[in-house]
Chains A and B, each alone.
Chain A
C-alpha cells in the first residue's frame, strides 16, 4: 500500500515536470532564437543555433536601437510606479470615506465606480483619448490621471470590501484621542489596510505595465512604452527584423520575471485576495 503510493507520487511528479517544461518551452524558445541570425528564425525556430546561424548578442543591440528600448523601459517604469502609487493612495482614501460616511451620494458613487469595471475599454477609447488631449493629459505624467480614473472601479471595490470588515471601534478610539479624519485615516486606518494595499498595487501593476491600447492611443506617437515599442517593431519601419523582435521579447519579459520572482509570495496572495473579492 505504502509502496504503491510512492510510485503514484513519482508518476505524478514526472507528469508535472513534463508539464512544467512544456510551460517554460515557449519562453526558452524565444530566448534561444534571440541569439540566432534574423533569417534563421521564422522558418526554423526549433533548430539550435549553429556556427552559421549564431548571431551572439547582435540582435539585442539592433533591437534596442530600433525600438528605443531604453526610453520605453523608462516610460513604462515611470508610468507604472507613479500610477500604482497614485491609485493606492487616492482610492484607499475614497473607499474609506464612502464606506464610512453613509449617504445617498456615497452609495451612488460606489455603484458608479463598480459599474465602470464592466465597461470594456473600446467603449471609451476614442472619447477618452480626445478628453485626454483637451485636458493636456497626453503625456507620461497626465496619463497617471487616466489610470487613476480608469482603475478606480476595481481598487475602490477591493478596498471597500476590506474596510467593511474593520471594526468601527478602532477609528472611534482615535477620534476620542483627538484625531481629525485626516489623522485617523493616515495614522490608524492606512496601516491596517497595508496587506490590501499590496494586493491593489500588484493587480494594478500587472495591468498597467502590460497595457497596450490606452497608452498607444493617448501617448503612443510621442512616448512608446514597452508593449508599444514591441508592436511598433512588428509593423513599423516597413521592416520586420525577427532577430531584433526576439531580443525585444526577451527584454520585455525579463523585468516582469524578476519582479515576480522577488515578490512572488505577495503576488500570489494578492491575486487570490483580489480574485476572491472581485
Chain B
C-alpha cells in the first residue's frame, strides 16, 4: 500500500484532519497571534506587541508565584510518586496472597476525575485540620501538601502498574541465577531489578512531570488558589487571569503561550535525555 489513489487518501485522513484543524490547529495559531494583542472577543483585537508578556510579570506577582509553586510541586510529587509506586510494584511482584486485589485497589483512584478527587480530599483534609483550628485556606503550604498527597493517591497506582510490567519483563532465570550465586533480596533489587526497570522509570518520570505541570482540575477543586491565589498553579493562574477580569485576556493568552513553551522545553529535554541513555545502553 505504498501508493494510494488520492481519493482514498482523502477518505482516510480527511475526518481527522478536519477536526484537528478546527479544534487545534486554527485555535493554536490564533492563540499565538492573540497573545500579542489586546482583545475581549476575537474580532476586536488590536496589536500591542510584547506588552502582554511584560505585563504578565510586572502587573502582579501571580504568574511568578504560580511558576515557582508549580516547579516545587512537580519536583516533590515526581520523586514521591515514583518512590512509592516502585516500592508497591516491588512488593506486589513477590509471592504474596491477593496481589491482584491490591493492584485493583491501588489503581482505582486513577480513574476518578480531578474535580471529584479535589472535593474528596478537601473534606478529608479540612476534617483533619479543624482539630488544629484551621482549614486548608490558612496557608499556601497546606494547599501544597494537600495537592501532593492527592496527586500521590491518584498517580501511584498508575505508575505502579507500569513498574510491575517492567519488573515482570525481567527474566526469572536472571534472578534465579543470582540467587544461586548467593545474592540476597537487597542485592537482587539493587543490581538487577533497578537497572532493568530504568526504561519504566523514564516513562513514569515523563508522565508524572507532564501531569504535575498541567494540573488544573484538582487545583481548582481543592483550594481554587486560596489563600489569595498563593496555591494557584500555572494552569489555574492562566484561567483566572483570562476569565477573572475584563481587559486582561491578552495577558492570559501570553501566559498560556509561555506555559506552552515551558512544557515543550521540558518534553524536549526529557526526550534528549532518554535518547542519550538509549545510546549508552
Contacts and interface: CB of A to CB of B under 8 A. Distances in A.
Contacts of B2: 100-102
Interface stretch (A48-56, A58-66, A116-124, A190-198): A116-124
A209 B115 CA distance: 12
Contact of B112 (A123, A124, A253): A253
A213 B216 contact: yes
Interface string A1-45: 000000001001101100110011011011001000000011111
Interface in A165-201: 168, 171-172, 175, 180-182, 184-185
Which residue of B119, B124, B239, B252 has the most chain A CB atoms within 10 A of its CB atom? B119
A94 B17 contact: yes
Contact of B22 (A149, A175, A230, A268): A149
A161 to B, nearest CB: 13
Contacts of A44: 127
Contacts of B252: 126
A227 interface: yes
A16 B96 contact: yes
A192 B148 CA distance: 41
What band does the interface of chain B fall in when counting residues whose beta carbon is under 8 Å from A? 35 or more
Contact of B111 (A33, A123, A256): A256
Contacts of A253: 112, 116
B161 A16 contact: no
Contact of A181 (B4, B161, B213): B4
A28 B221 CA distance: 19
A29 B12 contact: no
Contact of B105 (A24, A26, A156, A252): A24
A30 B108 contact: no
A215 to B, nearest CB: 11
A141 interface: no
A125 B28 CA distance: 9
B34 A126 contact: yes
Nearest to A261: B104
Q: Is the interface of A mostly helix, strand, loop or mixed?
A: helix
B56 interface: no
Q: Is the interface of B mostly helix, strand, loop or mixed?
A: helix
Given A46-B127, A131-B23, A150-B23, A272 B111 contact: no
Contact of A124 (B24, B101, B106, B263): B24
Interface stretch (B46-54, B75-83, B254-262): B254-262
A227 B161 contact: no
A100 B4 CA distance: 9
A245 B118 CA distance: 12
Contacts of A91: 16
Given A26-B124, A127-B34, A185-B12, A276 B165 contact: yes
11 contacts: A19-B106, A20-B102, A42-B130, A45-B123, A90-B15, A120-B259, A121-B216, A122-B256, A126-B34, A127-B34, A181-B8
Which 3 pairs, one residue from A and one from B, show the smallest C-beta to C-beta distance? Answer: A149-B23, A210-B113, A45-B127
Interface of A: 9, 12-13, 15-16, 19-20, 23-24, 26-27, 29-30, 33, 41-46, 90-91, 93-94, 96-98, 100-102, 109, 112-113, 116, 118-128, 130-132, 135, 137, 145-150, 152-153, 156, 168, 171-172, 175, 180-182, 184-185, 206, 209-213, 226-227, 230-231, 234, 245-246, 249, 252-253, 256-257, 259-261, 264, 267-268, 271-272, 275-276, 278
Interface of B: 1-5, 8-9, 11-13, 15-17, 19-28, 30-31, 34, 41-42, 88, 91-92, 94-98, 101-116, 119-121, 123-124, 126-127, 130, 153, 158, 161-162, 165, 203, 207, 213-214, 216-217, 220-221, 235, 238-239, 242, 249, 252-253, 256-257, 259-260, 263-264, 267
